[in-house]
Structure 1
């Protein structure tokens, strides 16, 4: 019998899909920075998405890539650096490298562009003046293996968010990672991310009946049979990364329950006009 936790019933009760800010409002601000998440909340995002990696001294930080070339202009690896070392880096300037030469550019708060720990993000959500959900993706492969999920569940537990009714859900492209989360926190919602449509027939027999499925929008658009199969099986669907009106239409036609987007304000505007 398929388990239907309270958090999922609540999501399905709403008329429109949940708008999840992908790495924050990452179209407007540098991804995974405090500024990006504050912007997403100001824009009205229903939920925040983040990727987490483990530092050498055991902290979970919100960083997508294993190395820091793209977002912090250094060849260092997140897994080999301590939090104090990461805290010295600038994770925001890459988004607008000419800002210092633009007299009309607003003054930037250096602290808003520092590396963001998962704990700090959770604290912000816990203190916010309205209900906000979290979608946390663990990145694999990693030298720390299952320690990432163990640390994640521990941190969520510090907030009482490792059980049924939690505002947080855990996502991964790794089947082992999702299974690990379910062993550590059996009542926590999990999302099996699907990178390629042809992976689903292989995953289908081994994923839990109550797991949420997270396909990419490109696969849903290019392989419409994937969406039809998920619907037929009664799966809850969360789609990444939805940034255009046409992509949103694909999601609305399927009745998905969450869209993960770099542009939360735009998605909310489109959904408002569709009411």
Structure 2
């Protein structure tokens, strides 16, 4: 049986600021099998690793990502919110500011390409967005630059939007797709739409609260988010889950005996 894959959710994000280069480097150091990120498109056409529409939560800026240019986003510190008292610690080591800036998807893919071992990348396109299908077109273009738009790609594309995944399939039919499932009651409709080879991505809370969902997904490839506890990991093992997306990659690897 293939070992369950441990994928770092926005990097090793329990202790590090999410979506920063520092969080992803930590996840790689910890031995994560894969890295997960959300992507949005800037006003000047760059894909950046950001979950929310704005940087208010992580960068103390009310502007929306889609209306800002990369140079303006790069001025923001998106790591300080995680450890707000760090500046008062005289013994804390100096940290490269670049590790806490808004991260481009290009930089993340370069980091994976240069890391010296196979690492998967799970990329979620966020919708709705003012740019619609341009997000997926830019994504596939970027994957093509890395030679990662074919069957041997380490990348899989995820979305809660069925339409977004259809776009990716038309542009790069060999790239694996993950249909994210937000609510258990959405699955009866979705299962009529998704292709048999698509991966299904339910949230762990839905699997806990609706045991029937796991039974209905039997025989499908399943990637679950966000798995952070022993109990949730055990549930995923019982269901034969292929990959767990976690804020705590080192801990999950330890629990799996790796």
TM-score by shorter chain over 0.5: yes
Tell me what 1:58 maps to: 45
Cα displacement (A) at 1:182:
0.4
Structure 2 stretches of 5 or more lacking a match? none
- The partner residue of 1:268 within 242, 247, 253 is 253
Tell me what 1:166 maps to: 153
Tell me what 2:99 maps to: 112
The residue correspondences of 1:109-148 to structure 2 (distance < 5 A) are 109-148=96-135
Secondary structure of residue in 1 paired with 2:123 = strand
Cα distance in structure 1, aligned partners of 2:170 and 2:98? 37
- The partner residue of 1:203 within 181, 190, 212 is 190
1:157 aligns with 2:144: yes
Cα distance in structure 2, aligned partners of 1:269 and 1:128? 21
Secondary structure of residue in 2 paired with 1:177 = helix
- Tell me the TM-score normalised to structure 1 length: 0.92
Cα distance in structure 2, aligned partners of 1:248 and 1:65? 27
- Tell me the TM-score normalised to structure 2 length: 0.99
> Which aligned segments of 4 or more residues in structure 1 are displaced greater than 6 angstroms?
none
- The partner residue of 2:238 within 253, 260, 271 is 253
Cα displacement (A) at 1:107:
2.0
Cα distance in structure 2, aligned partners of 1:140 and 1:186? 21
Cα distance in structure 2, aligned partners of 1:167 and 1:104? 39
1:28 aligns with 2:18: no
Cα distance in structure 1, aligned partners of 2:254 and 2:152? 29
Residues 164-212 of structure 1 deviation map (CA, whole Å, 9 limit, x = unaligned): 0110000000010011110110111000000000000011101111100
Task: State the Cα RMSD in Å.
Answer: 0.9
Tell me what 1:83 maps to: 70
